[in-house]
Amino acid sequence: MPKLIKNGEIIDNNYNWLQDAEQAATPDSIVAAQKWLSEKESIGKVAGIWLEAGDGVEFLQDVDLSQFDVIGVNFPAFTDGRGFSYARLLRERLNYQGEIRALGNFIPDQLGYLLRVGFNSFQFNEEVDLEKALDLHKPFSIAYQGDVSDPRPLFLRR
């Protein structure tokens, strides 16, 4: 079974990320958000949805996000920073409390920053050594700026 990093631990990946639009969705599937939106009456229960770079989050404004165990954000390249914004918007504007999973082509060096904007699980490409990536999970003991878990800057936390 494939593994991922979630909440600072390496665990089994219990969800299937459906990247092929023709694949049938199951209760343990993470389906493309646009597919779910267009087929939500017929698709049935799914574990979650995933956002493609360029999707934005505005179309989720009137959706009950608590029905999803996980919302994934695909990074087509590690240089594409839109996913960082999507996670922050999901947490702060849409008040999503569930799992936000980074998917695709991000790199272990980005873990600390991904955590700060609201991601809590990371499904790397297969060639990434999860043990080494875990070492970068919390690269800094303290940050000067606020983040989604504590928006206060350092001087207000003293």
Q: How high is the pLDDT of residue 21? A: 77
Q: How high is the pLDDT of residue 142? A: 73
Q: How high is the pLDDT of residue 1? A: 64
Distance CA 144, CA 47 (A): 36
Q: How high is the pLDDT of residue 25? A: 84
| pLDDT, tens digit (0-9, with 9 covering 90-100), for 109-151 | 898 899 999 999 999 987 888 998 888 777 677 777 877 877 7
Q: How high is the pLDDT of residue 69? A: 96
Classify each residue of 117-149 as buried b or exposed e, where b means 16 or more C-beta atoms within 10 Å of its C-beta: bbbbbbbbeeeeeeeebbeebeeeeeeeeeebe
Domains and CATH numbers, the chain: 3-157 (3.40.50)
With tokens 């267009």, the residue in question is: 38
Q: How high is the pLDDT of residue 23? A: 83
| pLDDT, tens digit (0-9, with 9 covering 90-100), for 53-108 | 889 899 999 999 999 999 999 999 888 889 999 999 999 999 999 999 999 999 88
